[in-house]
Amino acid sequence: MGNAHKLAGIPVTIINGRYDMLCSPVTAYSLHKALPKSKLIIVEEAGHSESEPGITQALVRAVAAFE
């Protein structure tokens, strides 16, 4: 989190699976709190993989929102 301030002015969407064992949802929440323009999405039925349906759907929606 030491360099999070470098992204403070950039809109960011953080997508994290509730059961992610590699990148803890607690860490995602901490990053979200450090980035004022961030949006945090916790996918309830997902772990770490972008190929999980809930993560894939959240990624597609996030990209579409930036278009």
**Span 3-53, pLDDT tens digits:** 998 999 999 999 999 999 999 999 999 999 999 999 999 999 999 999 999
CB atoms within 10 A of CB 27: 14
Closest by Cα among 42, 53, 52, 51 to 17: 42
Segments forming the whole domain that contains residue 36: 13-66
Q: Classify residue 30: in a domain, yes or no.
A: yes
Q: Classify residue 2: in a domain, yes or no.
A: no
Q: pLDDT confidence of 66, banded at 50, 70, 90?
A: confident
Q: Classify residue 5: in a domain, yes or no.
A: no
Q: Classify residue 4: in a domain, yes or no.
A: no
Asked if residue 58 lies in contact with residue 43, where contact means CB atoms within 8 angstroms, the answer is: yes
Q: Classify residue 7: in a domain, yes or no.
A: no
